[in-house]
Amino acid sequence: MAVRGEWRRGGWILVAVMLVALVVVVARLGADLRSGGGRHAVGDGRHPRTYGFDLANLAYPESLLAAGGVPRDGLPALDRPPLLTPAGVDSLNDAERGKYLVGADRVLGVVVRGDARCWPLRMLDWHEVCVDTLGGAPLVATWSPLSGSAAVYGRAAGADTLRFGVSGLLLNSNTLLFDRAASPSLWSQLTGEAVAGPRRGERLPRLPAVVTTWEHWRRDHPGTTVPAPAPTFKRRYQTRPYQSYRSGGRTRFPSAPLPAEGQLDPLLIVGTTHGRHVLDAARLVREAGPDGVWTGEVDGIALKFRTAPQAPGEQPAVWTELEFGDGITIYYADRFAWHAFHPEDRLP
């Protein structure tokens, strides 16, 4: 009996040691994910000055800069991921229990030199940045879930072709990208402007891009390609991590100036040669005809937008069929974010 009791005590000690070891392993795996695949984490998730960026020439008050809770590269940017055709997406959907991409899913789409590509917003929720090349042109697809801002930029900056990552920092609650130069600069996802570092004041060329649905995009661009899911993130793409945030109706990080109301209302901004006009995206959806088409005029330019209803926790899809030569640029952003960077623009 004494031997059995000693064994039992020893057995429980062994089990306890194994449980502690398991907790340590899980914690270390989590830390690896947050630090970008095992690299040493730069940034403590709370204090912007721990992220290793030179903020001496920051173009905005440092009070508007915030750490987003993850270190530099804590959200791993996609870098020239493998691609799928629409048929490849269908085959993947048939083979997987959770479908990767369905008709109603929102995508960020662009056409460059006749080549079409789109990036699912559910994918970009977990990466925010995709470094890519399309039609022979280097570009970066970006999405800031906290500010509802979707944009595609060219990566050429003078004689250099830049590669980008997610800095882990926010400016006016909008994602800050960083270029992977020896002395990196920080770039606003919403404006495409370098706001700190050696390239401060430079702007990336913005490409005409739309937020639409996979159903409409593949129908209009049957030759499109779309990134294949990153294997370790497949299940995460099926979740909506920002649904509760959007339901709350207000930003959780510093931003100024703030609008009087409707901080997270999605806006669609139409830029013409005469200026910018800010439209309420949800209103366009409500006022669209039975065919989902909204028509209007801005600065003498006839506009025709196609729309898709807003799903819970997601942006409404509003897009135009106009192309490069039509004299307009379309921007997407939440009300608070656009107002913070462009307080001179009249809000709807």
Domain ranges of the chain: 1-34, 48-233, 247-341
Confidence of residue 313 (pLDDT cuts 50, 70, 90): low
User: Residue 297: its pLDDT value, please?
Assistant: 87
pLDDT tens digits, one per residue of 53-93: 999 999 999 999 999 999 999 999 999 999 999 999 999 99
> Which whole number is the average pLDDT over 281-309?
89
pLDDT digits (tens, 9 = 90+) for 249-261: 999 999 999 999 9
**Helix (H) and strand (E) counts for the chain?**
7, 23
End-to-end CA, the chain: 81
Amino acid letter at 314?
A: E
Residue 177 C-beta-side C-alpha neighbours within 13 Å: 35
pLDDT tens, 322-348? 554 467 889 999 999 999 999 999 999
Q: What is the pLDDT of residues 179-194, one digit of tens each?
A: 999 999 999 999 999 9
What is this structure's pTM? 0.87
Residue 237: strand, helix, or coil = helix
The residue among 200, 346, 215 whose CA lies nearest residue 270 is 346
Tell me the pairing of strands 194-196 and 206-207: unpaired
